[in-house]
Amino acid sequence: MNRRKAILLALMGSVLATVVLWRGSTYVESRTAALAAEKDLAACQELAAKIERFNQHPPVATEQEQLADQTNALIESAAKSVGIDAKSLIRITPEPPRRLDDTAYKEKPTHVLLRKVTLEQLVGFIHKMLGVQQGFNAKSIRLSAPEPQDTGPLWTAEITLTYLIYDP
């Protein structure tokens, strides 16, 4: 009888230990999933707040038309502020706005041609333009290597700057 009790107690102990280990691993998995869900919730709430801020005051088309008048001056000012000579700013070519798919937004591109600029000046220029509060974006940047006859690391850059116009 003693031996049977010992075997039964050992068996019950091993079953109990298995159940405790299994429940512990389930708890750890649940806790990990809960922490991941908490991070996801915070990210979703942050994105929802951004969407709400954008929806509160989208730029109106008439306000953006004023920006079109100021674009050349903004580009010239940004170029001057990073040491790009006026002779290096070859061309500023605004294009008509284009509707973005089936949205209430149009994209207004402006092409800028810079010649004989350093990469430092180019990066500074783009940084200045992207920092303009109206929301410029550098849609494309095309670099041409320095000409062999040029002295120093002077590049030619074709940049397409864009901004959005809200036009439902």
Q: Residues 25-82: pLDDT tens digits?
A: 777 787 788 888 888 888 888 888 877 776 665 555 545 556 667 888 889 999 999 9
Distance, CA of 78 to CA of 72 (rounded, Å) = 10
Whole-Å CA distances, 106 to 114, 129, 136: 26, 19, 13
Q: Look at residue 141 and give its three-state secondary structure.
A: strand
Q: What is the mean pLDDT of the chain?
A: 83
Tokens of 5: 């009790």
| pLDDT, tens digit, 9 for 90 and up, residues 81-137 | 999 999 999 999 999 989 988 888 888 899 999 999 999 999 999 999 988 766 788
We find that the CATH architecture of domain 61-166 is 2-Layer Sandwich (3.30)
Q: Which helix (H) or strand (E) holds 143?
A: strand 137-144
What pLDDT, on the 0 to 100 scale, is given for residue 62? Answer: 46
Q: What's the pTM?
A: 0.60
Whole-Å CA distances, 54 to 51, 60, 98, 144: 5, 12, 21, 37
What pLDDT, on the 0 to 100 scale, is given for residue 15? Answer: 77
| pLDDT, tens digit, 9 for 90 and up, residues 144-153 | 887 777 667 8
Distance, CA of 126 to CA of 159 (rounded, Å) = 9
Domain ranges in the chain?
Answer: 1-57, 61-166
